[in-house]
Structure 1
């Protein structure tokens, strides 16, 4: 087999310029992901903790087996969308943490509402992210664990949350189908559980 030799000159001005530009892009990505991971802002986090609640990312960390990784899905969902009065995106991470982690030795799909983001209510992109997470779980036969702390649909956006085939109701349809396929659906109520937020634990496995 012939060997393909690179003729890349890592010392060239073009290479150095491209490398510097890429480093800047990667650093900006890291900053944006870290910012999104903060959730609904300092005041909302303080109010959340004052109510005796663990921050959502701590909930996920405590659920995982010690020392095991968490593969977060779509950490920048809804980035720059649903702008507030200051022109800043109002739904970091789309208000929900989703990813794959190991619990009691079993790889699971974890969906955790972030109540610091508008009380854990569902924006249109929250629904889309939740549905995508369920799709990953169904394709890979992953037990689903839902950490529920949600006020249901985000009412100012409810016209884009409820009515269509792949809107809010699809979440519960997916739960029922996965349960029938033997993919366990486990819900833990950790705070608000009203309106659409109540249906997730209503459709989980009896424990």
Structure 2
């Protein structure tokens, strides 16, 4: 069997320069993702907290099994795409373990434009559903959204892979036996109920929810 050898010399000036450059870029990325995790800024966070509501990432932490990891999708979505800041495209998505089951979680961040949907919010939501379907993972939706971001509604509603596709996907996944469960965190406008799934959402009612959910703080 051939032996693969490396020509890399970690003691060389070139290697050390590259290492320092990479460490600098990693540090910048971590600082950026930490800033994005703060959502819509201090004013929006204070208003959200004054209503007695948890922040979106705290909700996810409370939802996940204790000590289990959360694999976040697309944390940089919508970064510097629009004239106004839309951290994480106003929705946090990823895979986490709930009651021992790996699930796809889609959680609106109400501190970012009231959790409204920009074009890239829709794209990010649809991508999470695509992953759920491919790997047959239950979907948990933590809904706290003002619906579509109306100044961009012409980019959110009309096309095949726009806002209505979310509802279509929920129906399709449900028909395929992939659970669709929603927790609605606030009053929502007429458009936002489309983020709430149907048939299997019945399992999220208080009388049928797993007993371990009863103690979870939202």
Pairwise TM-score range, normalised by the shorter structure: over 0.9
Gaps of 5+ in 1: 85-89
* Secondary structure class of the residue paired with 1:195: coil
Aligned in 2, Cα 1:165/1:138: closer, same or farther, shift over 3 Å? Answer: same
The answer to whether structure 1 residue 55 and structure 2 residue 55 are counterparts is yes
State the match for 2:206 in structure 1. none
Offset, 1:82? 1.7
Higher mean alpha-carbon deviation, 38-47 vs 7-16, is at 7-16
Tell me, what secondary structure is at the counterpart of 1:71?
Answer: strand
Normalising to structure 1: TM-score of the pair?
A: 0.95
Contact 1:175/1:204 (8 A) holds in 2: no
Distance 1:104 1:12 in 2: 50
| Deviation of the 1:13 alpha carbon | 1.3
Alignment pair present for 1:20 and 2:15? no
In structure 2, the partner of 1:171 is 166
- Give deviations 1:135-178, integer Å, cap 9, x for gaps: 00000000000000001000111110000000000000000000
The answer as to 2:133 corresponding to 1:138 is: yes
Distance in 1 (CA, whole Å) between partners of 2:151 and 2:189 is 16
**Residues 98-137 of structure 1 aligned to structure 2 (within 5 Å):** 98-137=93-132
Partner Cα distance (1:97, 1:204) in 2: 24
RMSD: 1.0
Out of 142, 145, 152, the residue aligned to residue 150 of structure 1 is 145
Unaligned regions of 5+ residues in structure 2, if any? Answer: 204-218
- The match for 1:160 among 149, 155, 159 is 155
Task: Establish whether residue 2 from structure 1 lines up as the match of residue 2 from structure 2.
Answer: yes
Paired residue for 1:44?
A: 44
What's 1:97 paired with? 92
Q: Please give the alpha-carbon distance, in whole angstroms, between the structure 1 residues aligned to 2:120 and 2:145.
A: 15
The CA distance in 2 between the partners of 1:204 and 1:145, in whole Å, is 14
Aligned residues: 202
Match of 1:198 in 2: 193
TM-score, normalised via structure 2 length? 0.90
Which whole-Å CA distance do the structure 1 matches of 2:190 and 2:14 have between them? 56
1:146–1:204 Cα change, 3 Å: farther
Task: Return the offset for 1:195.
Answer: 2.6
Match in the other structure for 2:207: none
- Per the alignment, in what secondary structure is the counterpart of residue 114 of structure 2? helix
